[in-house]
């Protein structure tokens, strides 16, 4: 049996790395802002939001920023969803390092049909500023956005007083691309 030379083994690994890189380019990778370039759409043009957090949480204000950024109509429904396309915000004990966590659910065609935002009861002690930041951030996940590494963006992973609350131009443009005005 013949043993391949070191140069042949090294050349084989280079070929494997190039193939892997080509596959990643074809299927897509997150961009510099951390959001996937292949946004998935909601299954309706109107998405309802229901919240069990209580009136002292700025849920309506948090979702309005996303609503104002595209033709997608986001309707705050209070404590009941009037649609099958619904974002539900509720209390749930989460691991120590999470104040909020979001799950997306898709229909048979791969479109979003529901989103659940779970907020840890420890978040009840947050300031109004941080409450708004938390809900706006988690709502961004409901539209398919990942965490960013830009310190001025609402999708940054770290929550801090005085931190970002506004949507970046990237997110506004992306929403308009996926949900253009007629």
51-98: per-residue pLDDT in tens?
999 989 999 999 888 888 777 888 888 878 867 789 999 999 998 889
Q: Is residue 21 scored above 80 in pLDDT?
A: no
Mean pLDDT, rounded, of the chain: 79
pLDDT at 37: 35
Helix-helix angle 128-142:59-67, to 10 degrees: 40
Burial 148-172 (b: 16+ CB within 10 A, else e): beeeebbbbeebeeebbbebbebbb
**173 neighbors 70 (Cβ within 8 angstroms):** no
Q: What is the pLDDT of residues 109-145, one digit of tens each?
A: 888 899 999 999 999 999 999 999 999 999 999 988 8
* Domain formed by 46-178, architecture: 3-Layer(aba) Sandwich (3.40)
Q: Which residue(s) pair with 42 in the sheet?
A: 112
pTM of the model: 0.76
């Amino acid at each position: 049996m013949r043993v391949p030379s070191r140069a042949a083994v090294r050349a084989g690994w280079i070929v494997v790395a190039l193939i892997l890189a080509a596959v990643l380019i074809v299927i897509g990778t997150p961009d510099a802002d951390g959001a996937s370039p292949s946004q998935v759409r909601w299954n309706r043009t109107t998405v309802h939001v229901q919240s069990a957090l209580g009136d002292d949480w700025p849920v309506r204000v948090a979702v309005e920023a996303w609503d104002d950024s595209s033709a997608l109509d986001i309707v705050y429904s209070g404590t009941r969803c009037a649609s099958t396309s619904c974002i539900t915000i509720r209390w749930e004990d989460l691991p120590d390092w999470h104040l909020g966590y979001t799950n997306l659910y898709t229909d048979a065609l791969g479109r979003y049909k529901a989103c659940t935002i779970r907020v840890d009861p420890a978040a009840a002690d947050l300031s109004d500023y941080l409450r708004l930041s938390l809900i706006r951030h988690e709502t961004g996940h409901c539209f398919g956005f990942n965490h960013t590494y830009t310190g001025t963006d609402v999708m940054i992973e770290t929550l801090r007083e005085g931190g970002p609350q506004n949507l970046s131009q990237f997110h506004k443009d992306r929403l308009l691309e996926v949900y253009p005005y007629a």
